[in-house]
Structure 1
Amino acid sequence: MPVSADSSRRTGTSSLDAPPWVAMYHSVGDCSDDPYRITVSPERLDQQLAWLRRRGLRGVCVRDLLAARARGRGQDLVGLTFDDGYADFVEAALPLLQRHGCGATLFVLPGRLGGDNAWDPMGPRKPLLDKQGIRLAAACEGMEVGSHGLTHVDLTKADDSVLRSEIAGSRAALSEVIGAHVDGFCYPYGTLDRRVVDAVRDAGYGYGCAIDPGQLTGPYALPRVHIGENDTALRLLLKHKLHRLRRRPVGAAR
């Protein structure tokens, strides 16, 4: 996670010179059948959020993280994201986030409202949030709802019509569901290229979350770090150090 102010002074660097730390979660629940390692137990999430707070850090949605950094602040903020819009976000994750005074960004699929994770060929079927659940999450203080596309497809393989529907169409559909502006987009599977990034920008989003965007690092290709059930305090610390070594600062999109 981001270094403390004390460690920044020791190294002679500003934590704002480093790329923002954005954690990537998915489902919160039973981990017994989890071939893709997308699930953390409520107990583990509770421990991870407590670890953040002990280090003087606070989880926030990506919108608030980027706004704070634009003002030259945010040294103590960590971006928290939850992909796919699983129903267990409201049931299990949201109460823990509120208990620890944290916010988060929830990326949902407005083309699969009330459905399940049919794009995963292995593993258990997990229910997705319906309109009511998404609205409940969006109404909570510190929470942001963003688009994960309409149906969770690899956008780098989509033709122009599908690309518009999945990106611009999902933004319009989600805005209607929550009755508010949608600022964030998350690339399904973390796959992106210049064409896809340009489509996200042209659709009016303010930022895009990826996983490991390579040379496309920028506000429309924000790198994130996967957080799972095995991530204890030590592993979180090591992931942060690796993140700082591998990532470049996020400036203008290239």
Structure 2
Amino acid sequence: MTAMPLVLMYHSVTKYDADPLNITVSPDRFAAQLRWLARRGLRGVSMRELLAARRADTARGLVGLTFDDGYADFVSEVVPALLAQRFTATVFMVSGLIGGCNEWDAGHPLKPLMDADDLRRAARHGMEIGSHSVGHPSLISLTGAELRHELTASKAALEDVVDAEVTGFCYPYGHVGGREVAAVRGAGYDYACAIWKSEHTGPHALPRTYVGDRDGSLRLHAKKLRHRMRWGS
């Protein structure tokens, strides 16, 4: 099996005036970042495709593209830009807030989330739909019953919306411990995305590289080099 693949972590892609949480990339910057990948012979793909290629030892030149939370701009801004490069991606949706907004970011700018039609449209364009829990809580703060609900109910709800199996999960806030890894595996997910490298790093706690609006060519090159030095890929 190949070394740990490079996986980029995005959230929202849209024009903005204020972004106190540093989760938004402008459409022009995002398009430039995709072109940067393409010029280097790299192809952005969903986690489903990346991990299948990794198992087959054919992941060379592939980069995972992930989008947390399920913002509505995924269909209006992200999908067209991806299709222009013949890329795909995975979007991790908060199932209990489909058609709502990012209520968990209290006191910060509210952003609309995808509705059911948006999710189905994204899936029709070849994007993978993954789970980001029911309500975006920190899983490490939950009881066992609450944890199981966040994992199983979100999976079932999203599968009902897109009429396809949901095999990927993403930990809200990147908070994960051994209990959470075991619960995600037990809930039937093939993989899960975290943020940071940890003692739990593996198929159900895959580390990712944050990408923001400040990341031009030099910063992207540095992040790719840092990943290569850490993981040999």
TM over 0.5: yes
Whichever residue aligns with residue 98 of structure 2, its letter is L
The equivalent of 2:95 in structure 1 is: 110
Instruction: Please tell me whether residue 157 in structure 1 is matched to residue 175 in structure 2.
Output: no
Structure 2 gap segments, 5+ residues each: none
The equivalent of 1:252 in structure 2 is: none
- Structure 2 CA distance, aligned partners of 1:140 and 1:73? 23
**Counterpart mapping for 1:83-162 below 5 A:** 83-141=68-126, 143-162=127-146
Kindly indicate whether the alpha-carbon contact (under 8 Å) linking 1:217 and 1:248 is maintained by their aligned counterparts in 2.
no
Q: State the secondary structure of the residue aligned to 1:80.
A: strand
Q: State the secondary structure of the residue aligned to 2:129.
A: strand
Whichever residue aligns with residue 167 of structure 1, its letter is L
Whichever residue aligns with residue 151 of structure 2, its letter is I
Identify which of 19, 40, 52 aligns with 2:25. Answer: 40
- Structure 2 CA distance, aligned partners of 1:188 and 1:20? 21
Structure 1 gap segments, 5+ residues each: 1-15, 250-254
Whichever residue aligns with residue 19 of structure 2, its letter is D
Kindly indicate whether the alpha-carbon contact (under 8 Å) linking 2:2 and 2:59 is maintained by their aligned counterparts in 1.
no
Deviation, structure 1 residue 123: 2.6
The equivalent of 1:230 in structure 2 is: 214
- Structure 1 CA distance, aligned partners of 2:146 and 2:21? 26
Whichever residue aligns with residue 68 of structure 1, its letter is A
Deviation, structure 1 residue 80: 0.1
The equivalent of 2:60 in structure 1 is: 75
Kindly indicate whether the alpha-carbon contact (under 8 Å) linking 1:53 and 1:100 is maintained by their aligned counterparts in 2.
yes
Deviation, structure 1 residue 122: 3.5
- Structure 2 CA distance, aligned partners of 1:169 and 1:183? 13
Q: State the secondary structure of the residue aligned to 1:215.
A: coil
The sequence identity of aligned pairs, in percent, is: 51
Kindly indicate whether the alpha-carbon contact (under 8 Å) linking 1:19 and 1:244 is maintained by their aligned counterparts in 2.
no
- Structure 1 CA distance, aligned partners of 2:178 and 2:141? 13
- Structure 1 CA distance, aligned partners of 2:204 and 2:62? 19
Whichever residue aligns with residue 58 of structure 1, its letter is R
Deviation, structure 1 residue 241: 1.5
The equivalent of 1:221 in structure 2 is: 205
- Structure 1 CA distance, aligned partners of 2:230 and 2:168? 24
Label 1:33 to 1:191 Cα distance change in 2 as closer, same or farther (>3 A).
same
- Structure 1 CA distance, aligned partners of 2:100 and 2:197? 29
Identify which of 37, 42, 47 aligns with 1:52. Answer: 37
- Structure 2 CA distance, aligned partners of 1:109 and 1:123? 18
Whichever residue aligns with residue 100 of structure 1, its letter is Q
Instruction: Please tell me whether residue 170 in structure 1 is matched to residue 166 in structure 2.
Output: no
Deviation, structure 1 residue 247: 4.2
Deviation, structure 1 residue 17: 4.6
Whichever residue aligns with residue 170 of structure 1, its letter is S
User: How many equivalent residue pairs?
Assistant: 233
Whichever residue aligns with residue 181 of structure 2, its letter is V
- Structure 1 CA distance, aligned partners of 2:148 and 2:78? 31
* 1:82-122 deviation digits (Å, cap 9, x = unpaired): 00000011011110000011000010011111110111124
Root mean square deviation, CA, Å: 1.3
Whichever residue aligns with residue 76 of structure 2, its letter is E
- Structure 2 CA distance, aligned partners of 1:244 and 1:161? 39
Q: State the secondary structure of the residue aligned to 1:23.
A: strand
Q: State the secondary structure of the residue aligned to 2:69.
A: coil
Deviation, structure 1 residue 18: 3.3
Kindly indicate whether the alpha-carbon contact (under 8 Å) linking 2:2 and 2:57 is maintained by their aligned counterparts in 1.
no
Q: State the secondary structure of the residue aligned to 1:216.
A: coil
- Structure 2 CA distance, aligned partners of 1:44 and 1:220? 30
Q: TM-score by structure 1 length?
A: 0.89
